[in-house]
Amino acid sequence: MSDTKIEARATLTCPMCGFKKEEEMPTNACVYFYKCSNCNTMIKPKEKECCVFCSYADRKCPIKQQEQML
């Protein structure tokens, strides 16, 4: 039944120091806080974005990916 592909991994770029890290995104929740492992900044989503991945990663979060498929 599922030929729709949700990509759960994304590379998140810290807006403070530019550090890139590949992270696994939860498929059923939005990640609102993310701590950069390089500069220890607590990253929050931009205004109107649902999570840090939508704001700073190279890929939208699984929830948004799902919405786009509908």
Asked if 16 touches Zn ion (CB under 5 A), the answer is: yes
Smallest separation, CB 20 to Zn ion (Å): 10
With b for 16 or more beta-carbon neighbours within 10 A and e for fewer, the 19-37 pattern comes to eeeebebeeeebbeebebe
Cβ neighbours, 10 Å, residue 60: 20
57 binds Zn ion per the rule CB under 5 A: no
Q: Is 42 in the site for Zn ion (CB under 5 A)?
A: no
Verify binding: residue 36, Zn ion, rule CB under 5 A.
yes
Q: Which residues bind Zn ion (CB under 5 A)?
A: 14, 16-17, 19, 36, 38-39, 41
